[in-house]
Amino acid sequence: MAQVISGAQGYVTDVGMSGIYDSYAANVYEHVPALQYPQSIPLLRRMATDDQIKGILAAYTLPIRRAQWAVDPAGCRSEVVQLVADDLDLMVVGKDKVGSARRRGVSWAEHIRVALESLVYGHFVFEPVYELRDGLARLIELAERLPQTIEGFRVDQHGKLIRIDQKPIAGVDPIKLPPERFQLYTHDRVGAQFWGESLLRGAYKPWLLKDEMLRVNATSHRRYGVGVTVVKAPPNAQPNQIREASALASQYRGTETGGIGLPNGFEAAVQGITGNVPDTLEFIRYLDQQMSRSTLTGLLDLGSTPNGSRALGDTFLDLLMFTLQAIADTIAAQLTSQTVTNLVTLNFGEDEAVPRIVCGGIGAEHAVTAESLNLLLTSGALSTDPALEAYVRREWKLPERDPDAPPLTPTDAAKVLQNEAPVPVPPSSTGTAQPTTVPTGDPVAASRRPFEVSAATGDVVLRRGLTEVEAASGTDFVEVQEQWLQALDQLTDAWGDVTFQQRAAILAQIRAAVEAGDLSALAAITAPTAQAVTLLMDYMRALGADAAEAVVREATSQGVKTAVGVLDDVRIEGAAKAVAGFLASGLATSAGRSAMLVWNDGASPKDVEKSVGDALDELTDASLRDGLGGALSVAQNEGRAATLKVAPKARYYSSEVLDANTCQPCRDVDGMEFDSLDEGQAAYASGGFRDCKGGLRCRGIIVTRWEGV
């Protein structure tokens, strides 16, 4: 049976065994006397006034200050989460805004601004202040306790901080703050070194030299800017004449009216510097770069260095953002473990679960634009909900939503992002248009479909109800949509073999390019398409044949007999080759760009190949489904057109009911009657409507009425 051992037996350091870890302990950790705590505090403040360091600190603090700080419920009770969020002036993860402002309380924006001073000094202390209100202890202030007021940090032998002592002032005893009475932010603490280490520690040496060089450079300009006055005494001059020449030279001032009077026989001249002198300004620039290097902010120096590129700038920026995220996460963890834990314990007891403070991904932010959101909604990768709508309104400075207004559908949400008004629903034959629903079938496949899904029934909801013409045409839009979806899901799954073959060919070409050291070869990377064309044609032929038979049933429902049309195989093959080529080219281009990002003189072919393979693994199937779906739309419309060509003459109308979202050109053509089948086919030559802003994603079709022809 295993023996249970409780309690630590070792110690954190052999310094300060009396339990006092203050400036004495600091002398052991820091070999530069000026940087030993606590005398380092005024020096660090002086360093922070340097222009280069001010830029470094701004690069560190501003992104963290503007990040999305929030309270993560982490499974805690809602009343606990709300109390923490209200008292810290933070929003709750998943909610769109913070609570209302209080007359007294913590201002998070101000608190995080001051808390980031811990980067300068290595630490910063706050004292929580509470008041009893409605039976709850409410946090009303996190009072600043400046570093210069801290006398020492006291820990036990195991390294646990047991209190912080403030320096006594006149008439006041020393202040001793136990753990529940302080919030300590520490940067890069090691062991019992709770005063931390300043972010500027690595910049001290270049800053010290720079401070001296600036004075040297100023003296140089003052001394040699107008030259050095030289006064020569007459030949065989007496000592008093030499002293007089020296006094005359010293008294001369290089002003606009400056001059000098000389006794008979004396000579005066202004001499400049002869020979080479050190380039002080270049040395100062070098020192600035060293300070940036020590803090991973090389991005600040790209404009003043002989080398640099956009790719290098992106690399520097990524590295800095990852660093800032790590710092923000540390601050969040320290706040959670101290003030948040104490606040929850005071109000709900020691056994209550504690929510976490989190900071939104500083190092992994994506630009959220109306276009990107629309693509996410259209592809089905994102669905609308109140939180998303509130975020969009907040980011684009739009008014808050009317609480009495009905929620937006994904279609209407996408239109809002495109600055387009919601489409009015055309009346049906019964006078009121109702949404048309289709069963989702496979829930996995349904999750990839680009339409709204009813939460109540699990059915797919078409964009709008049917118009009178659409209802009378006999077109089974449910069947048209389901056949297309089923074919798209099956084709996407079968495309895995195509992708596997293309990836192997692409990676082989990249490996060969790296081995040959030929960077330009990345532009010539290709992917084979023969297998892709064959597979795509099989699915297009099958779906086109189904569409041709569907038109026969539509004609029969209107009392018209017609034969099944024959697909134009040349059109099918041409569309298959074009789409397969587009998809292969896109995959090859993505791989080539990924290879360029990791290509350097020291990279091995194996390393580059692995990095590119990992990048390809992260690609989503959104673009693939767009391309394959467009090809299948071509097949459906080709099949319908094939039967219409052999059927009796009819009246032909456009229908955009199958579109998940509808752009302005498609809205304009929706319901239009064409003068002839040829005119309709010209409008829908490539599957969808030719002027559609969604390109291959358009699902417009032609519907037919034989009555009255």
- Residue 363 binned pLDDT confidence (cut-offs 50, 70, 90): low
**pLDDT for 181-195, tens place per residue?**
999 999 988 877 888
Q: What is the 3-state secondary structure (H, E, C) of 403-469?
A: CCCCCCCHHHHHHHHCCCCCCCCCCCCCCCCCCCEEECCCHHHHCCCCCEECCCCCEEECCCCCCHH
Q: Are 380 and 450 in contact (CB under 8 A)?
A: yes
pLDDT at 311: 54
Residues in Cβ contact with 286 at an 8 Å cutoff, skipping those fewer than 6 apart? none
The torsion angles phi and psi of 652, rounded to 5 degrees, stand at -115, 135
- Residue 688 binned pLDDT confidence (cut-offs 50, 70, 90): confident
415: Cα separation from own chain's centroid: 24
Q: What's the residue count for the chain?
A: 709
- Residue 101 binned pLDDT confidence (cut-offs 50, 70, 90): low
What is the rounded CA–CA span in Å between residue 630 and residue 632?
5
pLDDT at 253: 73
Q: In what order do the strands lie in the sheet with 356-359?
A: 91-92, 69-72, 356-359
pLDDT at 225: 66
pLDDT at 431: 36
**pLDDT for 115-145, tens place per residue?**
999 999 999 999 999 998 888 999 999 999 9
The least confident of 196-210, 457-471, 554-568 is 457-471
pLDDT at 429 over 70: no
What is the rounded CA–CA span in Å between residue 662 and residue 114?
49
pLDDT at 22 over 70: no
Residues in Cβ contact with 570 at an 8 Å cutoff, skipping those fewer than 6 apart? none
Greater confidence (656 vs 709) lies with 656
pLDDT at 113 over 90: yes
Alpha carbon separation from 685 to 547, 574, 681, 694 (Å, rounded): 16, 13, 5, 15
The torsion angles phi and psi of 481, rounded to 5 degrees, stand at -70, -40
pLDDT at 227 over 90: no
**pLDDT for 162-217, tens place per residue?**
888 888 876 677 788 888 899 999 998 887 788 888 899 988 898 988 888 888 88
- Residue 354 binned pLDDT confidence (cut-offs 50, 70, 90): very high
The least confident of 72-81, 348-357, 423-432 is 423-432
Which contiguous run of DSSP H or E holds residue 324? Answer: helix 310-335
pLDDT at 1 over 50: no
- What is the CB-side half-sphere exposure of residue 664 using CA atoms within 13 A? 5
The least confident of 79-93, 140-154, 511-525 is 511-525
pLDDT at 332 over 90: yes
pLDDT at 417 over 70: no
Residue 655 DSSP label:
E
The least confident of 214-223, 312-321, 424-433 is 424-433
Q: Are 463 and 660 in contact (CB under 8 A)?
A: yes
Which contiguous run of DSSP H or E holds residue 144? Answer: strand 136-145
Closest listed residue to residue 69, CA positions, set 362, 451, 492, 442: 362
**pLDDT for 591-644, tens place per residue?**
888 888 777 766 788 888 888 888 888 788 888 888 888 888 888 888 888 888
Q: Are 673 and 522 in contact (CB under 8 A)?
A: no
What is the rounded CA–CA span in Å between residue 518 and residue 602?
14
pLDDT at 500 over 80: yes
pLDDT at 421: 40
**pLDDT for 52-79, tens place per residue?**
889 888 988 888 988 889 999 988 999 9
Q: Are 327 and 296 in contact (CB under 8 A)?
A: no
Which contiguous run of DSSP H or E holds residue 629? Answer: helix 622-646
What is the rounded CA–CA span in Å between residue 79 and residue 294?
45
What is the rounded CA–CA span in Å between residue 166 and residue 343?
23
pLDDT at 542: 92
What are the tokens at 439? Answer: 């069963």
**pLDDT for 263-302, tens place per residue?**
888 888 887 776 666 777 888 888 888 888 888 877 776 6
> How confident is the model over 441-464, as a mean pLDDT?
45
> How confident is the model over 235-239, as a mean pLDDT?
84
Instruction: Kindly provide the b/e burial profile for residues 489-528, where b requires at least 16 CB atoms within 10 angstroms of the residue's own CB.
Output: bebbeebeebbebbbebbbebbbebbeeeeeebbeebebe
Alpha-helical segments (H) within 72-230:
78-88, 108-115, 118-121, 204-224
96: Cα separation from own chain's centroid: 18
Greater confidence (84 vs 284) lies with 84
What are the tokens at 379? Answer: 């592809």
Q: How many CB atoms sit inside 10 A of residue 677's CB?
A: 18
- Coil, strand, or helix at residue 702? strand
> How confident is the model over 488-512, as a mean pLDDT?
89
Q: How many CB atoms sit inside 10 A of residue 698's CB?
A: 26
What is the rounded CA–CA span in Å between residue 613 and residue 588?
12
- Coil, strand, or helix at residue 4? coil
pLDDT at 29: 65
pLDDT at 10 over 60: yes
Alpha carbon separation from 33 to 23, 27, 39, 117 (Å, rounded): 11, 7, 8, 22
pLDDT at 708 over 70: no
Q: Are 414 and 435 in contact (CB under 8 A)?
A: no
> How confident is the model over 379-401, as a mean pLDDT?
69
pLDDT at 14 over 60: no
Boundaries of every domain in the chain: 20-65+93-198, 203-298, 370-422, 443-705
pLDDT at 452: 43
pLDDT at 6 over 70: no
pLDDT at 304: 57
pLDDT at 24 over 80: no
Greater confidence (430 vs 621) lies with 621
The least confident of 123-127, 280-284, 542-546, 572-576 is 280-284
Strand partners, 70: 91, 358
What mean pLDDT, rounded, does the chain reach? 78
Closest listed residue to residue 630, CA positions, set 583, 566, 677: 583
pLDDT at 511 over 60: yes
pLDDT at 439: 42
pLDDT at 389 over 60: yes
The position carrying tokens 């920026």 is 317
What is the rounded CA–CA span in Å between residue 327 and residue 295?
13
